[in-house]
A and B are shown apart, each in its own frame.
Chain A
Amino acid sequence: QKEVEQDPGPLSVPEGAIVSLNCTYSNSAFQYFMWYRQYSRKGPELLMYTYSSGNKEDGRFTAQVDKSSKYISLFIRDSQPSDSATYLCAMIDSGNTGKLIFGQGTTLQVKP
C-alpha cells in the first residue's frame, strides 16, 4: 500500500463546475500538506501549503486537511479550461527531512 493514495482520474468537468480532488494517507507523522499543479510537459508548481487541520482559501482554491481521518482535499470553484492539468498532493513528515511524498496525481480536464 502506498503512503499516499490519490485517484489518477481522469476527471472531466464542464467549465464553471466545482471540482473536488482528494488524497488519503497512512502515515500519521505527516504534518505539512501541499497541492501542486503540473501542466503538460512542465514542472510542478505549488498551489497550496497547509500545516494544520482545517481550511485554507486562496482565490478560487480551498485546501482542506482532516488529520483525524488522514484525508486532504482541494476544491476549485468556478473551474476554468486553464485549470486543466494534473494535480498532485504531497506531504512531509515531522522529521523535517524535506522528503516530499507525492500522490499519483489526478488529471483534470475542464471543458469549455
Chain B
Amino acid sequence: DTAVSQTPKYLVTQMGNDKSIKCEQNLGHDTMYWYKQDSKKFLKIMFSYNNKELIINETVPNRFSPKSPDKAHLNLHINSLELGDSAVYFCASSHVREGTQYFGPGTRLLVL
C-alpha cells in the first residue's frame, strides 16, 4: 500500500563506517530523488534519477553514491561516514520532472 518506502527507518553507526539506505516506489513514476534534511529542517536535494539516468547531482561529497537498479528503486550508499552526515534522508518520486513529488517517511541517520 505504501507509495514511497525507505529502509531502514533509523540508522545509528560509527564514524568511518559505510552504510546504505534503500528506497522503493510503487507509483510507476519515472523520476526519483534523494534529499537531505538537516537539524534546522532545511531540505536540500542531493540527487535525481530519471529512468535510471542521473539527471541532478548537486555538490555532494563523492562519499555519497546513488544507484538506481531500476525505475522503482533508488539506493544511496555512503562511504566513510562523518559526524556531519547525521541528518534525515528523504527519498521522493514524481511522474515527470516538474510533477508532484511524493516523499518517503525518511531515514534518520546518526553518526557517532
Contacts and interface: CB of A to CB of B under 8 A. Distances in A.
Given A8-B40, A96-B97, A105-B41, A43 B106 contact: yes
A99 B48 contact: yes
Interface of B: 4, 31, 33, 35, 40-45, 48, 50, 55-56, 58, 90, 92, 94, 96-106
B104 A99 contact: no
Interface string A93-112: 00011111110110100000
Contact of B55 (A8, A36, A98, A105): A98
A98 B31 contact: yes
Contacts, number: 65
Interface residues of A, number: 25
Given A43-B103, A43-B104, A49-B100, A97 B56 contact: yes
Interface of A: 8, 32, 34, 36, 38, 41-46, 49, 86, 88, 92, 96-102, 104-105, 107
Contacts of A42: 105-106
Contacts of B43: 44, 88, 102, 105
A97 B106 contact: no
Given A43-B103, A43-B106, A102 B44 contact: yes
A87 to B, nearest CB: 11
Nearest to B31: A98
Nearest to B58: A99
Please name the 10 residue pairs, one residue from A and one from B, whose CB atoms are nearest each other, closest first. A98-B97, A43-B103, A102-B43, A105-B41, A44-B103, A96-B98, A96-B97, A43-B105, A104-B42, A99-B45
